[in-house]
Amino acid sequence: MTKRDFFRIIIKLFGLYSLILTVFTYIPTNISYVTFQFEPIVLLWIFGAVALTVLVYILLIRKTDLIIDFLKLDKGFDDERIEFKNFNSQKIMQLALILIGGFLIIDYLPDFLQYTYLAFKKEVSPNGLNQLEDFSFGKITDYFNWVISGMNLIVGYILLTNYDRITKWLNRKEKTLGNTV
């Protein structure tokens, strides 16, 4: 594998990770702010930030070679090739998808468990028990963030269990893009 191919894979996987975080974290969190207090400037700010994120994603996925040339990432190495022995681009992509899925689970499992506890506490004692109030850390039951953390756990699980299929799908997209350019 050449150094250029390696940096291509890394940049595309970073773009995929950024898209997942944007779709499942940034957008839902900011839309929840709009639902509590509607202000046009906030909505405009959210659309602008999402548009910027989508443009960065498109740049990272479609213009990878331009980024490598601009940053000169493949220059200054002694060898042209990186030897990973049994690692090819497909294996590296599989490893990256496993890491992304693992990070999603590690990041959102504590939040999901906390929101589950708070929802359970609310259902068990709707009138409120003073003994249990001390353990909630001043947070109210937040079903929206509970659902978002649950969705991130599901996406992480899907990435961990289907990394081979996703890798084949991403490589298929790369080959069809290479044929059209």
The residues spanned by each domain of the chain are 1-83, 88-181
Q: What is the pLDDT of residues 89-143, one digit of tens each?
A: 788 788 888 888 888 888 888 888 878 877 777 777 655 544 444 444 445 556 7
User: Please, are residues 29 and 148 in contact by the beta-carbon 8 Å criterion?
Assistant: yes
The CA distance from 177 to 25, in Å, is 29
pLDDT at 131: 45
The CA distance from 160 to 117, in Å, is 26
H or E element, residue 48: helix 40-62
Backbone angles phi, psi at 81, to 5 degrees: -110, 150
Which residues, in sequence order, are bridge partners of residue 2?
A: 81
Beta strands in the chain (DSSP E): none
DSSP readout, 85-126? Answer: TT--HHHHHHHHHHHHHHHHHHHHHHHHHHHHHHHHHHHH-T
Question: What is the three-class DSSP state of 2?
Answer: strand
Q: What is the pLDDT of residues 62-82, one digit of tens each?
A: 888 898 888 887 877 767 777
Predicted TM-score (pTM) of this structure: 0.53
Residue 1 confidence class, pLDDT cut points 50, 70, 90 = confident
Q: What is the pLDDT of residues 44-67, one digit of tens each?
A: 877 887 788 788 888 888 888 898
Given a cut of 90, whether residue 154 has pLDDT beyond it is yes
Given a cut of 60, whether residue 167 has pLDDT beyond it is yes
Question: Could you tell me which residue, 146 or 135, shows the higher pLDDT?
Answer: 146
